[in-house]
Amino acid sequence: MKLATAAYNLDWLDSWGQYEDKLEAWVSEATEQGAELLVFPEYGAMELSTLNGADVAGDLERSIRAVSDRMEDVRIVHTRLAETYSTYILGASAPVLTGSGRPVNRATFYAPTGAFDHQDKQIMTRFERETWDIAPGGPLKIFDTGLGKIGVLTCYDSEFPLLGRALSDADLILVPSCTETLSGYWRVRIGAMARALENQCVTVMSSLVGANDWSEAVDMNTGTGGIFGPPDKGFPQTGVMAEGVLNQPGWTYAEVDLSTIADVRADGHVLNRSHWAEQTPRVDSVTICSL
């Protein structure tokens, strides 16, 4: 199968139709290249706040609520595009208000059948918890699809090995990200590559890119798309299957064969996924030695 992961730039939107046209252009471009799975980045939905004007788009709390209010319309558009173009789409994540009172960071996964489900971010960054007041969402999920088993670790979540281990049955782990600085991009990228190594799977990182002076929330973004595997049999020796150009909007593509994932898990040069449990008795017996 062919994967497409986005380095996605936000736009100022003057109408809902402009948003629909932009999204369809992105989906059309990727599927024309044969992509069967499209991955948009974290907080890519924040451009929808511009539909409420500059005062709302520039105010953190009001922009969060404005985007949350539009998510049902966003779902309708993505469902139509997934069906029309016969593709799976991980939509750009958004702050979504739930019954808890505070928004969660939610990415919705759409199938070409019209089915959809969502994955909420698990662990908030300092900015999300101290400034945005975004809440942790529902549990991790594995989506069983026609393309294999797929999990999602949103940005900072990819930096936590136990979250990755919970998705060890997934063939693909999608990592939508939003990072302000180059160091932030590399933290997430290193996390995504580490999860590919540990789980002997493929990780797919998307990024928000570009400057947006109209927003307090996503004013500066650094990154690019990347697709990674374990540096082992059947994969590139670097583990990098594909990477885009830093901060250049567009799609990054890679071909993935699920049999290669199964083969490396069964008979790789190393067997990280199978040997994971051997850590437990060894970390439990750590001793302090005075020298």
CATH numbers and ranges of domains, the chain: 2-284 (3.60.110.10)
Q: Which residues pair with 108 in a beta bridge?
A: 118
Share of the chain above pLDDT 70, in %: 100
Cα separations in angstroms, 213 against 9, 11, 127, 207, 216? 13, 11, 18, 18, 8
Q: How many helices (H) and strands (E) does the chain have?
A: 10, 14
Give the model's pLDDT for residue 151: 98
Instruction: Report CA-CA distances (Å) from 139 to 118, 121, 122, 163, 276.
Output: 10, 9, 7, 10, 22
Q: Tokens 């930096």 map to which residue?
A: 159
Scan for tokens 């209010």, then name that residue: 69
**Residue 100 clears pLDDT 80, i.e. is over it:** no
- Cβ contact 151:173 at 8 Å: yes
Q: Cα–Cα distance between 254 and 246 in angstroms, integer?
A: 17
pLDDT tens-digit map of 33-84: 999 999 999 999 999 999 999 999 999 999 999 999 999 999 999 999 999 9
pLDDT digits (tens, 9 = 90+) for 3-31: 999 999 999 999 999 999 999 999 999 99
Per-residue pLDDT of 140-168, as tens digits, reads 999 999 999 999 999 999 999 999 999 99
* Phi, psi torsion values for 49, nearest 5 degrees: -65, -25
DSSP strand pairing (220-221 vs 148-152): unpaired
- DSSP lists the bridge partners of residue 148 as 145
User: Which residue matches tokens 């173009």?
Assistant: 85
Q: Does residue 214 carry a pLDDT above 90?
A: yes
Query: For the chain, what percent of residues have pLDDT higher than 90?
Result: 95
**Per-residue pLDDT tens digits for 179-190:** 999 999 999 999
